[in-house]
Structure 1
Amino acid sequence: MSSSRTLLLAVMMFWLAGCANGPHRLPYDSWRLGLFAPNYMEVWIETADAVDVQDRAFRRAMSGIAAINTPKDLKGNPRGWPQRPGAGAGKQVLGADLPRLIYVRWQSLAEPQTYEAYIIIPEAIREAMLKGEKAFCEADAKWITDYRKMLSVGLAPGGVAKVWLMGPCLSAIDVARVQGSVVKKGPDGGRSNGQYALPLEPESKAYIEKYGIPYDSW
């Protein structure tokens, strides 16, 4: 057998192995990681990393500003979590298999304080990510087979992280509530001399000065 033919067969076998064991086994192209914060409780995400079931790390799958509402009339309610959480600010985790672990390090600008949390994704949640369900999508008034392929992480003062799994047209299910820990080096791993990424928006600052932070609600 010629060397070129041997090389071609080797490449084909590698490709087939990747299809059998890699992310192509998912019934969709990729899953999404999104993050949000309660009203007025602003968050800067230093990094949100994902580890899949093949122990591959996807570093900085998301970073930057978490999704948030800051109504100007100060009538937004930051207490507790919404019954129907949003998808949050996020990205598709391209090339990943099912998630095993999510690591988040964030700056809680409302306090301010820096936290980190390790979120283990249970096997039952991964099984739910593979299960297609009939769903009615109100956006286009059609019945489809939908998948829960979106992980949404709520980040609250005090270092609380709450996680849901949802689909574009399917209801959210609880994944976990994790108590994070303080990052002793402070924001940006100590490289910013204690300076946080952003100042609070005027509405958030005014709300916290008037009503405080409802730590016991998350």
Structure 2
Amino acid sequence: YDAWRLGFFAPDYMEVWIETADAVDTNDRWFKRAMSGVSSISSPSNLKGNPRGWPRNPGDGKGKYVYGADLPCFIYVRWQSLAEPQTYYAYIEIPESARELMVKGERAYCRGRGKWITDYRENITIGLAPGGVAKAWVNGPCLDAIEVSRVQGKVVSKGPYLGESGGKYGLKLEPDAQAYIDKFGIPYDSW
């Protein structure tokens, strides 16, 4: 295919701001800022959400297609965990086994199209959680996600925007997210 998709999400209420997500493909080409900005997140009202753990089959997340790239070898991501607040970075290896899954066509029933198709896992979905945890899956529009990597990010000692913001974070938590964290805290041990 001509492109693969890079998407991000965070657990319920645990909002993140992606400063940059860069991709390196199998030809050692670096795709700077393949994604940046807010990730996909759910903040149900009345504190009914559950941020503990990862979903069994995460969706695509918020993201963009990476055009002109070969299959990915690794993703570098630097993000602000607004729930804490803290800034992290991580290098997420996309192993050869994941790239093999991305090019292997599989027969699947696609509910959206109402028929059987041959589908591909053309999406790299990355979950970002407080404490610097990053987890990656490959998935397709009609295929379940398969976990391919989990890494522990490191704290960016210079702070948000590599120190260029004077220690100020880009966004504030939404009221429902702040209310959840104030009442229940951050479930660090669940990711």
TM-score normalised by the chain length of structure 1: 0.87
Alignment correspondent of 1:50:
23
Q: What secondary structure sits across from 1:189 in the alignment?
A: helix
Shift of 1:140: 1.8
Distance 2:96 2:4 in 1: 16
Does residue 107 of the first structure (1) align with residue 89 of the second (2)? no
Shift of 1:46: 0.1
Distance 1:155 1:60 in 2: 17
User: Structure 1: 5+ residue runs without aligned partners?
Assistant: 1-27
Alignment correspondent of 1:150:
123
Alignment correspondent of 1:6:
none
Alignment correspondent of 1:197:
170
Alignment correspondent of 2:44:
71
Larger RCO of the pair (alpha carbons < 8 Å, separation 6+): 2
Distance 1:66 1:128 in 2: 24
Distance 2:93 2:112 in 1: 32
**AA matched with 1:32:** R
Shift of 1:86: 1.2
Q: What secondary structure sits across from 2:64 in the alignment?
A: strand
Alignment correspondent of 1:92:
65
Does residue 122 of the first structure (1) align with residue 71 of the second (2)? no
Distance 2:135 2:92 in 1: 9
Alignment correspondent of 2:5:
32
CA deviations over 1:105-153 (Å, ceiling 9, x no partner):
0000000000000011111111111111111100121111100000000
User: Structure 2: 5+ residue runs without aligned partners?
Assistant: none
Shift of 1:40: 0.2
Distance 1:132 1:139 in 2: 18
Distance 1:125 1:206 in 2: 38
Distance 1:122 1:77 in 2: 30
Shift of 1:42: 0.3
Distance 1:174 1:62 in 2: 20
Does residue 80 of the first structure (1) align with residue 53 of the second (2)? yes
Shift of 1:84: 1.3
Distance 1:148 1:140 in 2: 17
Two-structure CA RMSD over aligned residues (Å): 0.5
Q: What is the aligned length?
A: 191
Q: Is the strand fraction higher in 1 or 2?
A: 2
Runs of 4+ in 1 over 3 A off after TM superposition: none
Q: What secondary structure sits across from 2:45 in the alignment?
A: coil
Alignment correspondent of 1:163:
136
Alignment correspondent of 1:188:
161
Distance 1:195 1:129 in 2: 39
Pick from 32, 38, 42 the counterpart of residue 59 of structure 1: 32
TM-score normalised by the chain length of structure 2: 0.99
Q: What secondary structure sits across from 2:171 in the alignment?
A: coil
Q: Is the helix fraction higher in 1 or 2?
A: 1
